[in-house]
Copies of this chain bind each other. A is one copy, B any other.
């Protein structure tokens, strides 16, 4: 067996850990379902709504929409509030923006190291 103890760049190691930490699997899982994206679109269009209203005109059963909304809430994408026998759901805009902002902040330094098959910018370049 080979002893490939290649010394890893500490900077790369740190960024790699940051990226892995910020890549919330639940968040992306919630967004990779077309039906859930459609629910998001409707919530933006009409604002906060109850389950029945959101499910109006969609082919899936109301119970399916209810489950999707619960999953979106667990992922921090929606928030809910009970109002009588109805439950109003709405997008959690600030939290979504915060999440994406965090991701962007972490992947920007990564991008400086990962420019495939092109000259990577050195620390004193880019002042074009």
Contact = CB atoms under 8 A, between A and B. Distances in A.
Contacts of A63: none
> How large, as a class, is the contact surface on chain A?
35 or more
A114 to B, nearest CB: 4
**Total identical chains:** 2
A93 B110 CA distance: 7
B28 A32 contact: yes
B110 A90 contact: no
A74 interface: no
A96 interface: yes
11 contacts: A12-B44, A13-B45, A16-B44, A23-B40, A25-B34, A44-B110, A90-B114, A91-B114, A96-B107, A96-B111, A100-B107
